[in-house]
Amino acid sequence: QVQLVQSGAEVKKPGASVKVSCKASGFTFTHYDINWVRQAPGQGLEWMGWMNPNSGDTGYAQKFQGRVTITRNTSISTAYMELSSLRSEDTAVYYCARVETTNMDVWGKGTTVTVSS
């Protein structure tokens, strides 16, 4: 079935980087953009950026410019989101989602990233 499978939970120290993976199955990976969205504890959804897996083109939310990098490996249908210079406020659940025109119709289950010294 159509799904996005994300990597497991991470615990990082302030200043470190984290790289979350998102493996697509059940559909052609290069036919759909991928968005990354995060949700801090008790907070709303926050868009981080997008990637076109076919071209590798990316776009990032202004808030994360310079700190986030979205990449892909088409041979294994996997997208990656790397966030650097982590701080406690980056503690959140990170989701990848398949983009259908401008909405997100398939979501991963989320990856919990905890930033703590």
Partner 1 sequence: SYVLTQPPSVSVAPGQTARIPCGGNNIGSKGVHWYQQKPGQAPVLVVYDDNDRPSGIPERFSGSNSGNTATLTISRVEAGDEADYYCQVWDSSSDHLVFGGGTKLTVL
- Interaction site with partner 1 (CB under 8 A): 35, 37, 44-47, 50, 59, 61-62, 95, 97, 100-105, 107-110
In whole angstroms, the minimum distance from the beta carbon of 113 to partner 1 comes to 15
In whole angstroms, the minimum distance from the beta carbon of 11 to partner 1 comes to 19
H or E stretch at 115: strand 111-115
CB neighbour burial string for 80-97, b if at least 16 within 10 angstroms, e if fewer: bbebeebeeebbbbbbbb
Contacts of 66 (CB under 8 A, 6+ apart): none
In whole angstroms, the minimum distance from the beta carbon of 91 to partner 1 comes to 16
| Of residues 15 and 59, the one with the C-beta less far from partner 1 | 59
| Of residues 53 and 108, the one with the C-beta less far from partner 1 | 108
Strand order in the sheet with 18-25: 3-6, 18-25, 78-83, 68-73
Type of residue found at 36: W
In whole angstroms, the minimum distance from the beta carbon of 109 to partner 1 comes to 6
| Of residues 16 and 57, the one with the C-beta less far from partner 1 | 57
CA 47 from chain centre, in angstroms, equals 9
| Of residues 44 and 66, the one with the C-beta less far from partner 1 | 44
